[in-house]
Amino acid sequence: MTYQGDPLDNLPSDVGEEEAILPAPEPIEFPFPLVSKRTKEDLEKFGVNVAEDYRDFKEEVLTWLATYGKNPEKGEGLADTTLKSTHYKLETVFRWLWDYEERYTTELTPAEADRFIRLLNMSDSMIDSSVLHHLKVIKRYFKYHNHTHGTDWEWEPDLDLSQANGEERDYLHRGAFKQLYSAALEYGSVKSYHSVTPEERDRIKTYLARLEGVPKEKIGPEEFKEANSWKVPSLIAVTLDTGLRPIEVGRASVDWVNLESHELNIPKEESTKNEAYWNCTLKNRTVNVLSRWLDERATYEKYQDRDELWLTKKGTRYSSKSCNYLLRRLIEEGNVSIPKNKDVTWYSIRHGVATHWANHVGPHHAKEQLRHKSVTTTMKYLHSDSETRSSAVEQIW
């Protein structure tokens, strides 16, 4: 949902740093059969009742996607053509799953999704664009599952796919990086507790209570101070330098920070790909912001005896859900330019960072900074863009 006017008046009381609970979708009449003929035939071997059970499952999934599939917080669903395509590709996925599991199930796990996409990618008859379409459909299913079942499944297969088929990843362009950081600096900023009138203080308390999802009487000088924190700016700055994955944001430890060397040192056992000790370079501005955050962090009780570099307002580790929520808030409250008709997530920052490094610094440097297992993975971010072409045309003569 989009909030207009004074945020102190319009911010809903039940929204914290995690996703809000969405209203149940209204029933929908679909212009296509929820269970295809081919799928009905495959289900026959599992019994007479499973086809109806699967139909109920598909109706629930597609109804949610039609209502919330594009942007849950704004109540935006998928377009009719996208919904229909999603429906038929999910049929393919689940028919494969039943054959693979040798049983009927409506639960697709990230590990099974990985196997399906790898097998699809290995098929000689399957072009990259079709693999990417199936990948997007599965990600929509996981979005549905996370919202409706309370799971936090993070799924981002590391595939070697060319982007020559018109399927460009949804990523933030370099021009949006400074805008995103500026939005982080302004996020939740309020005046000092003791510098405002009692009326202003009461309004700010209401705002912070709603923002943090706590009773108004629990808001005091400490909460005013934390609202002007360096936490979000440091988190965004490090991500813009290193392309942190959501799981890495959650795992990030104080021990990773090497201010003297201007590095984020990720141990092998904490690396997502678990391949090597990664030494990721940080810019001077990021080092300064991180230094301020570490000093501030030491003053908060919830960080006592905790190693995590960043915690949510609820004192939990960051996840894909909370990272995406934070990004949406920054985009909505700041002046951040995002690609039109694109589904921007936390991985959009990583893809944007990888694209810039691969195109303007070089794939081998990009591989180390982005922690790719192979430079082949990095090469998929090498593609033509207007910024590169503009620079080249100015230098050609």
Rounded Cα distance, 86 and 65, in Å: 9
Which DSSP string corresponds to 281-340?
E--HHHHHHHHHHHHHHTT-GGGTT--BS---TTS----HHHHHHHHHHHHHHTT----T
Radius of gyration in angstroms for the set of CA atoms belonging to the chain, rounded to a whole number: 23
- Which residue, of 131, 149, 167, is where some domain finishes? 149
Domain membership of residue 261 as a residue range? 175-189+228-395
Q: Give the pLDDT of residue 71.
A: 86
Instruction: Provide the 8-state DSSP code for 24.
Output: P
Q: Label the pairing between strands 278-281 and 257-258.
A: unpaired
- Beta partners for residue 279, in sequence order: 265
Q: Give the pLDDT of residue 131.
A: 83
Q: Give the pLDDT of residue 159.
A: 61
Compute mean pLDDT per 10 residues along the chain, 397 residues long, and list them: 35 42 80 90 88 94 92 87 92 93 92 88 69 89 91 75 44 83 82 76 79 79 78 94 89 93 81 65 93 88 92 89 89 78 80 80 78 71 61 57
Burial 293-315 (b: 16+ CB within 10 A, else e): beebbeebeebeeeebbbbbbee
Q: Would residue 237 count as lying in a domain?
A: yes
- 63 and 143: one domain? yes
Q: Give the pLDDT of residue 390.
A: 60
- Which residue, of 149, 166, 197, is where some domain finishes? 149
Alpha helices in the chain (DSSP H): 7-10, 37-43, 50-68, 80-101, 110-122, 128-149, 175-186, 198-212, 221-227, 231-242, 246-251, 284-297, 320-333, 346-356, 363-370, 375-379, 386-395
Q: Would residue 274 count as lying in a domain?
A: yes
- 181 and 95: one domain? no
The CATH number covering residue 287 comes to 1.10.443.10
Number of domains within the chain: 2
Cβ burial, residue 239 (10 Å; 0-12/13-18/19+): buried
Side chain identity at 238, as an amino acid letter? V
- Tokens, residue 148: 């409706």
- 235 and 272: one domain? yes
- Beta partners for residue 278, in sequence order: 266
- 183 and 127: one domain? no
- 131 and 248: one domain? no
Cα atoms found within 13 Å of the Cα of residue 385, Cβ hemisphere only: 19
SS3 76: strand
Asked if 184 and 327 count as a contact pair (C-beta separation under 8 A), the reply is no
- 179 and 284: one domain? yes
Asked if 116 and 96 count as a contact pair (C-beta separation under 8 A), the reply is yes
- Edge-to-edge strand list for the sheet holding 263-266: 257-258, 263-266, 278-281
Q: Give the pLDDT of residue 211.
A: 66
Q: Give the pLDDT of residue 383.
A: 62
- 368 and 273: one domain? yes
Q: Would residue 199 count as lying in a domain?
A: no
Q: Would residue 247 count as lying in a domain?
A: yes
- 201-209 LR contacts (CB < 8 Å, sep 24+): 203/8, 204/8, 206/8, 207/7, 207/8, 207/11, 209/13
Q: Give the pLDDT of residue 15.
A: 39
Length of the chain (residues): 397
Write phi, then psi, for 345 (nearest 5 degrees): -130, 180
- 60 and 179: one domain? no
Rounded Cα distance, 347 and 329, in Å: 15
Rounded Cα distance, 232 and 254, in Å: 15
- 113 and 236: one domain? no
